[in-house]
Amino acid sequence: MTGTDRFSGQFRTDHPYLTAFALLEFVFLVLPSLIILVVSLGASQIITFPPTEFTLKWYVSLLDQPQYVEPFLNSVLVATFCTVISIPIGVSTALGLNRYDIRFEHGLQIYLLLPFTVPLVVSGFILLILFGRLGWIGDLWAVGLALTIINIPFMIWSVASSVNALDRSLENAARSLGADQLQTFLHVTLPSLMPGVISGSFLMFMLALNEFLVSLIITTNATETLPVAIYGAIRGNISPQIAAVSSIYVVVAILAIVAADRLVGLERFLHA
């Protein structure tokens, strides 16, 4: 065995301390969600862990609580709106940055880094002023637009990963066979970009569904989303109902991960 082979074998061997650290991190990340799920099944009127009895009554009672049902529907509508309008924006922007010499390309690339540099409270305050001037405060679609603005770089990055991996010879072959630009885009380019589009759509939907800080700043009583409703509820009394609502988010996240794995694969999703 050569020195390189010995080094490769040692590199691939799991280090016991690294394994222990990974397991500790896994428990640290999973334990809070697990506790919430268990607490939401408790029969007591107050939150107790571990519960002495188990029941689903808190989940059933949520159906009769408009202060949770309406914000949940608002959150789903906002997340859907955000996802739908982000797809054409993400596809066109990713293709444009990859294939055309754009004058303000450097400025656009800086904008794509803003979610990591500008605090969300600042973004929310700016959007509050802008939407207030335009008279959009109080419109549910405006909340979806705001969440699209702050999260759209994630869609662009996701689609861009597919654009960079696209084999241009497939498009050239389609054109050589008589397909026009629209036919080539619909039947060759777009299907090739679908892994990135699907991954980006999952990201946009989950980010919009879970967004709290910007939603807290720009929503009203009529457009309140579920994270804002949960925040308002825990400021008064922390009840098992709130644990049940929080558990719904955990279940939705699990279903989203399973769906992403089935559609594009977790490795491709994480890469995007």
Q: What is the pLDDT of residues 213-243, one digit of tens each?
A: 888 888 888 888 888 888 887 776 677 777 7
Cβ distance 55 to 43 under 8 Å?
A: yes
Range of the domain at 165: 62-271
Q: Looking at per-residue confidence, does 261 or 37 come out higher? A: 37
Task: Please indicate, yes or no, whether residues 20 and 145 belong to a single structural domain of this protein.
Answer: no
230 assigned to some structural domain? yes
- Does 2 reside within a domain? no
Long-range contacts of 9-16 (CB under 8 A, 24+ apart): none
Same domain assignment for residues 49 and 70: no
> CATH code at 140?
1.10.3720.10
d(CA 57, CA 244): 10
Q: Structurally, how many domains does the chain consist of?
A: 2
One domain for residues 157 and 85? yes
pLDDT band for position 169 (cuts 50, 70, 90)? confident
Q: Do 104 and 218 have their domain in common?
A: yes
137 is a domain residue: yes
The predicted model scores a pTM of 0.77
Same domain as 174, residue 100: yes
Summarize pLDDT for 99-122 with one digit per residue, the tens. Answer: 777 666 667 767 776 666 778 888
- 51 and 126 part of one domain: no
Mean pLDDT of all residues in 154-162: 85
Together in a domain, 41 and 82: no
**Span 114-131, average pLDDT:** 82
Q: Is 30 exposed, middle or buried (0-12, 13-18, 19+ CB in 10 A)?
A: exposed
Residue 10 inside a domain? The answer is no
Residues 224 and 100 placed together within one structural domain of the fold? yes
At a CB cut-off of 8 Å and minimum separation 6, what does 83 contact? 201, 204, 205, 208
Determine, yes or no, domain membership for 95: yes
* 225 and 251 co-located in one domain: yes
Task: Tell me: do 40 and 135 sit in the same domain.
Answer: no
- pLDDT per position as a tens digit, 203-215: 889 889 888 888 8
Task: Report yes or no on 138 lying in a domain.
Answer: yes
Does the residue 253 lie in any domain? Answer: yes
Please indicate, yes or no, whether residues 50 and 128 belong to a single structural domain of this protein: no
Q: Do 76 and 43 reside in the same domain of the chain?
A: no
- The secondary structure of residue 64, as a DSSP letter, is G
Residue 53 has φ and ψ, to the nearest 5°, of -135, 155
Q: Which amino acid is at 245?
A: V
Task: Tell me the C-alpha distance between 222 and 245, whole Å.
Answer: 19
